[in-house]
Amino acid sequence: MPRVEGFEQWPQRVSVTEVGPRDGLQNEPTVLDIAEKLELVHALVAAGVTSFELTSFVSPRAVPALADAGELVAALRGLDGVHLSALVPNPRGAERALEAGVDAVVLFVSASETHNAKNVNRSVAASLSGFEDVARVLDGSGIALRGAIATSFGCPFEGDVEAAAVGRIAQRFAELGIRDVSLGDTTGMATPPLVAERIRHLREAAPQIAPTLHFHNTRGLGLANVMQGLALGVDRYESSIGGLGGCPFAPGASGNIASEDLIYLLDEMGIATGIDLDGMIEAARVASRLMGRPLPGQVSKAGPRLALGDCSAVPTARG
């Protein structure tokens, strides 16, 4: 599709990382086995997805749905052109990730103290200090380091989170040599004005950081927030197939923006992703079948804008 008039200065291409196998599945009552997870990932790869936040090397007791992290990475690491990242909370998680053979690890911390305590049972300062130990474990391994800041737009326990808190964490990531940092909207508290404020502050506080935006659609503003990010030139986003997802340590954390809905929006704006919309709709249907229920994503139900119906199958009004 050609570029849309008025959006010429927006990114021409956007990178989309699929987080469904990790963020999408961690809070679901239905726990998929390894074969089912592989079926879902292969459906996404067939649609053109090349970047995955695949799993998390946390305690299996804390997140039972991701207990098979090492096995899943081992089964997928030979896929040509596919980049696999995983969350790690501490040096032990980093050792497991290194053994499994991930391409990148994601160091995650919350911008709010209360959520960080619930999420990883640590203060923010302790988490940031521990990242230095993780970096030492991975030094020389060739595994890339990425950062993620949860509750970047608000905390379900504390309310508003100051942009400065996000900026300070981004600066610490930059000191570790990390350049790719995701701002997580853990419970869907982001709004377009908050997105603009966070991005502008981040660019002042840590200009070497390339931000990724990770929105939840809890209050229906997920794609509106993407539009704000695009207007500011942000070209990296994370999404979850079918709109799966949520944080088990935050009340009201419903699903991420649906990957197929995001791809539809970007396609309609003439922004390239390298991902096929029809393939993503099929992957969303696979996810729905595996989970045993309809998922929140919209495009997989309605189809693309020009998915036409059979006129003869619809009754004509009388009267």
The terminus-to-terminus CA distance of the chain in angstroms comes to: 41
User: Which H or E run includes 222?
Assistant: helix 222-231
What's 240's DSSP letter?
Answer: B
Give the relative orientation of helices 34-46 and 69-76 as an angle to the nearest 10 degrees: 40
- Report the DSSP pairing between strands 83-88 and 180-184: unpaired
| Catalytic one of 66, 199, 247, 266 | 247
Q: Is 311 a catalytic residue?
A: no
E runs forming strands in the chain: 15-18, 51-56, 83-88, 104-110, 144-150, 180-184, 210-214, 236-239
Burial class (CB in 10 A: 0-12, 13-18, 19+), 248: middle
Nearest-5° Cα angle at 53, 23 to 103: 155
Under a CB-based contact definition with an 8 Å cutoff, are residues 240 and 16 in contact?
no
Cβ neighbours around 133 below 10 Å, total = 12
The C-alpha atoms of residue 257 and residue 206 are separated, in whole angstroms, by 26
- Encoding tokens for residue 302? 């309605």
Name the CA radius of gyration of the chain, rounded: 19
Indicate which residues carry an active-site annotation. Answer: 247
